[in-house]
Structure 1
């Protein structure tokens, strides 16, 4: 009976020891404090899922298709701005031109992504976006 209690106590100590690193986050060995913030989940649930936006056609105010959403990227800076990576031109994925536009410039209404003042030509004139290696 005593050896069974000892085994149980030892197993609990091993589990607790293996879970200890999960109690605090650390980066490069330095302890990090994690602060929690309340989120309005009802409002958040009415937002846009990146997985649903990727591949969506982008239109201008004249309802012309001017590109597609290729990706969404959050900048690494302190402001954490979000950019939409748009694919413009090309055919069947060949010769496409990727450009980055601030996500806030896009208007999303009735499941339609609109960049009102843009044209294919104006987007193709933007510097090409290239992913970092």
Structure 2
């Protein structure tokens, strides 16, 4: 049997490599998204503890109270800032009636206290919230 010439062997190897689909194992160690290499970092999370946290879908629409148990607004939304710190803000709806004339304000989520399924902004009043700059969603 005659052995293949080096050029023919190289051509055959290139042909086979283009016809054989890549498997996930062949890409191991190189994560790619839209063709760009990605750095993936793993962090262990206590999923049991996390599951007892506060879901945004359950907080939206919740009444917000002050330390005197006065209703001072409702949670309209939660937003994660686009900056590097990824701070979370609660968008509160203050005033208005049936959604008309409402005033939206942003407060740091960490300022809210959530106990016994009640959202509390202890030192706030409707007037103090209405005095904050109005929040408007970007287009």
Compute the TM-score of the two structures, normalised by the length of structure 1.
Answer: 0.80
Change (3 A) 1:100 1:15: same
SS at 1:122 equivalent: helix
Provide the C-alpha distance between the structure 1 equivalents of 2:22 and 2:77, rounded to a whole number of angstroms: 40
Over 3 Å off, 4+ runs: 13-17
| Bigger-Rg structure (1/2) | 2
SS at 2:50 equivalent: helix
Post-superposition offset of 1:15: 8.4
Q: 2:127 aligns with which of 112, 121, 129?
A: 121
Partner residue in 2 for 1:80: 86
Aligned length: 116
Provide the C-alpha distance between the structure 1 equivalents of 2:49 and 2:83, rounded to a whole number of angstroms: 25
SS at 1:95 equivalent: coil
Post-superposition offset of 1:99: 0.2
Q: Does 1:38 align with 2:10?
A: no
Compute the TM-score of the two structures, normalised by the length of structure 2.
Answer: 0.77
Higher helix share: 1
Mapping of 1:22-101 within 5 angstroms? 24-26=31-33, 29-101=35-107
The gaps in structure 1 that reach 5 residues or longer are 1-12
Q: Does 1:110 align with 2:113?
A: no
Partner residue in 1 for 2:5: none
Deviations 1:75-130 (A, max 9, x none): 11111100000000011111100000000000000000000000000000000001
